[in-house]
Amino acid sequence: MRRIRGGKGSGAFPVWVAVLVSVGSGVGAGPTGVGSLSDQGVALKPRPVLHTVVFDQPTKDTSTYSNIGATGNTRPYVWMSTFPGEGRQSNLVTMFDTGSMGVPTGVAAGRLRITRMVFTACTYPAGPRAKYDPTPDAWQNSLWPGGEIVVYNSWGGTTPVGSEFVPAEPRYVSLGPAEDGNKPVELFGVRFNNGWTAATWIESGVGTPAVQNDLYNAEPIDFDDAGNERSVLFSMGESAVEFVFGLYVGDDGQTYDTYYPTGNFLTDVADGFDAHAFGYGRSYVIPDGTPGHSVGGVGQGLIGLGDELPPAYRLRVDVRVDDPWVQRYLRSGLEAGWISLIASQLAIADIGLNGSYSYWLTKEGSATLPPLFDLNPSTLEFDYIEMPPGDFNGDGLIGPEDLGPALEALTDPAGFEARYPLLDASALTDMDGDGDTDLVDVERIVRMLSAR
């Protein structure tokens, strides 16, 4: 957060505040802004200019599963699964170069407010299917629900040799027959580690490694109730199901050196937390013949809770831009010229990686599909307004309504941001865009608002 500083003559700052207060009674003119000022001779209130940005595919996209591509992690599709309690091990990372689309960057981006954002992701035309769920689930619902756990011929093996019944994990919570077994597709922000950024990320077949220095180079993040950034890779907590390496007698009577459950539960395991996703993947109608969104010219209809996600099916995420922490994350991305998002699906898989998860279409996968499949990979569309210098209530206009917020932004930035959680006091009071707020800025605010 940039701080207000007085510079030379800083002792005069309270005077400027007093002047700002005094001009309030003289502010009588209407708001100014860009927009239609009349309609057939009838005066209209100006409207801020709404800018729309559309990406029909990411600038970059990549898989981050640690065991796929230690020296390069871009794949035609990615699969997303978690073994009970191990957390999110695979994600679809998408990066959109907003600077190349003319969206302001740097200090100017601090004066932007995103008013709408829609992200879509499409399932790959082949691969396993997950059950559709448009709502968040409690983290305890993703723990082991009870039943037979398949034992394979070795750790990482694919040949079943037996099974062991393990009751439900003590912390498991059922959400009811309609919900159990369905896991939502969630959208999160991205934390880049090991010095990587969206701009430097390499998405070629031998591109950026998934893991370095025991850290994922890109991991999904959310924000807790206090606005603190946190990774959601392990939001499901530790599994209490006890597994051991050892000799196991299979159903065929042979002995295997493998990994199997004992039927017992561990104690003192870490709990998870309910992640605050930026939004959830939801079914929607796509009309036939929609470019980039059809198979053989056919669009898609709605599916319901518990239905399997069809192949080549697209989910829509309405991003929660009214959440102050999401808005600030997106604005910080615009400052750097990139919006980076991770789509992650909660899904249960067994040791053989059999389970409920989905393959998702990436740019590389889309490029290799037959002509029948007119499918874009992930897409992003958003609207934003630019708040001109002097606009302190975030409506994109300058008028008498900005006087009170301007005074509060100068004297009580924390109080201002509590009242206007989608705005940044330091960015708005920095009238000359030099990175701080000083008496030059205060004088400009007084002159601008006293002239309204």
Per-residue model confidence as pLDDT tens digits over 172-224: 999 999 898 888 999 999 999 999 999 999 887 667 877 789 888 888 999 99
Mean pLDDT in residue range 114-119: 97
Here the tokens at position 348 are 């249960």
Does pLDDT of 270 surpass 70? Answer: yes
Is residue 7 in a domain? no
Q: What is the pLDDT of residue 366?
A: 87
**Residue 217 confidence (pLDDT):** 87
**Taking each helix axis from N to C terminus, what angle separates 439-450 and 13-22, rounded to the nearest 10 degrees?**
10
- Residue 10: pLDDT above 60? no
Q: Is residue 155 part of a domain?
A: no
Are residues 265 and 340 both part of a single domain? yes
Question: Is residue 194 a part of any domain in this protein?
Answer: yes
- Regarding whether 445 and 414 lie in a shared domain, the answer is yes
Which residue range forms the structural domain that includes residue 217? 53-145+168-242+260-383
Question: Furthest-apart CA pair in the chain: how many Å?
Answer: 93
* Residue after which a domain boundary falls, among 383, 409, 428: 383
Same domain (yes/no): 305, 424:
no
Could you tell me the pLDDT band of residue 77, with boundaries at 50, 70 and 90? low
For residue 4, being part of any structural domain is answered with no
In a domain, residue 327? The reply is: yes
Residue from 352, 380, 386, 388 nearest 49 by CA: 386
- The reply to whether 332 and 432 lie within a common domain is no
The reply to whether 293 falls in a domain is yes
pLDDT higher than threshold 60 for residue 13: no
Pair 101, 254: CB distance under 8 Å = no
DSSP state of 204: S
* Tokens encoding 303: 């599916």
- The average pLDDT across 404-412 equals 84
Of 339, 364, 383, the domain-final residue: 383
- Looking at 353, 383, 413, the residue that finishes a domain is 383
What ranges in 323-412 are assigned the alpha helix state H?
324-336, 363-367, 403-411
The predicted model scores a pTM of 0.83
Give which of 61, 89, 59 is closest to 77, Cα–Cα: 61
Look at 89-98, 131-140, 191-200 and tell me which has the smallest mean pLDDT. 89-98
Residues 405 and 269 in one domain: no
Task: Indicate the pLDDT class of residue 290, thresholds 50, 70 and 90.
Answer: very high
CA angle 344, 346, 170 (to 5 degrees): 150
- At residue 7, the pLDDT reads 37
Residues 266, 367, single domain; the answer is: yes
Stretch 296-314: mean pLDDT: 95
Number of domains comprising the chain: 2
- Each residue's pLDDT tens digit, 18-62: 545 454 444 444 444 443 334 344 334 456 788 999 999 999 998
